[in-house]
Amino acid sequence: MARPRTSIDWKIVSENLRADCSTVGIASIFGIGADTLYTRCVEDNGIPWTEYAQKERASGEDLLRMVQYQQALGGSVPLLIWLGKQRLNQSEKQKTELQVSPVECENIDIVIERMGGVKAAREILAGAIGNW
């Protein structure tokens, strides 16, 4: 005698796929094996399991993106920062300390002296940076 045909609620399957649940886990909800789920997907939906699952998982990812985007626009600072880094290639600039050797310090002193002292050197450098 053949085993009774298990009823599969494809809405539940789709919801679990959108949540990125595994095929084995989804099959276990209905008390069937993964192979049965593969076969029944073709029978009930007319497409292979891989195609069905890929479409539903992509839908879940898009839903998450939309919620993140809406939360960011709603004022979620962490999401605004994260999305800026991910989508806009924004990054936080790290402050770096200038490392100068004693020999370089002596040379800097000589250069400043030749420029007419610290005040004159600042004015020259400010003009150079402003014209850059």
The amino acid sitting at 34 is A
Q: Is the pLDDT of residue 56 over 70?
A: yes
- What is the model's pTM? 0.63
128's CB contacts (< 8 A; 6+ apart) are none
Distance of alpha carbon 109 from the chain centroid? 48
What share of the chain in percent tops pLDDT 70?
A: 82
Domain ranges of the chain: 10-87, 102-131
Q: What is the mean pLDDT of residues 17-45?
A: 97
* pLDDT of the residue at 1: 73
Integer Cα distance of 26 and 13 in angstroms? 6
* pLDDT of the residue at 31: 95
132 confidence band (pLDDT: 50, 70, 90): very low
Top-confidence residue, 20 or 123: 20
Q: What is the mean pLDDT of residues 75-103?
A: 79
